[in-house]
Structure 1
């Protein structure tokens, strides 16, 4: 009798886990479809071991991923600065590094804190502020000469996804 009860409990728990995972996957897909970059959004959130139960959890995952991406880009910029011999290019890269540093240390972490407190408006402002700085970095370079164009492009996509999810939270 005890084995039967144990087996039944195990089956119930397994079923609940599968239903929860299906619900989370559906929620992730529904939310990511409302962003400008569905595939990128879906891949990032699905690959995160923390399964979000709502858009609030999803946007926190996106912003934390954005912080990691920005940190990698800053490291890349700092490596380029060490190698560059052109002073004009060095100045442009330094400007870009100075754009990434506050985003990593202050702006994006403040956005996460604001989301956790339910202050989605301030979080949205923080995302817009970070986007503005990345766009300013892009404008330092003309044409295709930027060694950061693809990295900045990804950064802007990540910020756009976060902004779209925040819009859902602001309107919901």
Structure 2
């Protein structure tokens, strides 16, 4: 595994260090890797969780019609997260521009918070 101390120090530099650790440590791809690869693991985790949330939103739209309007807005936000923020962040990381990738991930956080607050 990438040096555990390296991962710990990397995650301490994030706003959500426990979440960062919970994503990176169990992933076998975090073994013997660099900072960019760790960031790509995290971005892919955001994508996967965004897709899962989209599926949950669809299920809720079917079972809780009283929340349809709010859920439609949330679906739009999560669609932007999965189809815009994540690909931009991946491209930025692969292109050597981690600050741009950080901006995309910060935007995805804002979108998820906006969805949550809309309830």
Give the TM-score of the pair, scaled to structure 1.
0.62
Asked if residue 102 in structure 1 is aligned to residue 85 in structure 2, the reply is: no
Alignment deviations for residues 76-114 of structure 1 (CA, whole Å, 9 cap, x no partner): 00000011232xx11001100110012112211210111
Measure, in 1, the Cα distance between the counterparts of 2:59 and 2:103.
30
Match of 1:56 in 2: 36
Question: Relative contact order: is structure 1 or structure 2 higher (C-alpha 8 Å, sep ≥ 6)?
Answer: 1
How many aligned residue pairs are there? 118
Asked if residue 30 in structure 1 is aligned to residue 9 in structure 2, the reply is: yes
Match of 2:107 in 1: 129
* Structure-2 change in CA distance of 1:38 and 1:129 (3 Å): closer
Measure, in 2, the Cα distance between the counterparts of 1:130 and 1:38.
17
Match of 1:4 in 2: none
* Structure-2 change in CA distance of 1:61 and 1:77 (3 Å): same
Alignment deviations for residues 105-131 of structure 1 (CA, whole Å, 9 cap, x no partner): 221121011111011232122123222
Give the TM-score of the pair, scaled to structure 2.
0.87
**What RMSD over aligned residues (CA atoms) do the two structures have, in Å?**
1.7
Instruction: After the TM superposition, list the runs of 4 or more consecutive aligned residues in structure 1 that deviate by more than 4 angstroms.
Output: none
- Greater gyration radius: 1
Give 3-state SS (helix, strand or coil) of 1:47's partner: coil
Deviation at 1:139, TM superposition (A): 2.8
Deviation at 1:45, TM superposition (A): 0.7
Match of 1:78 in 2: 58
Structure 2 segments unaligned to the other structure (5+ residues): none
Match of 1:93 in 2: 71
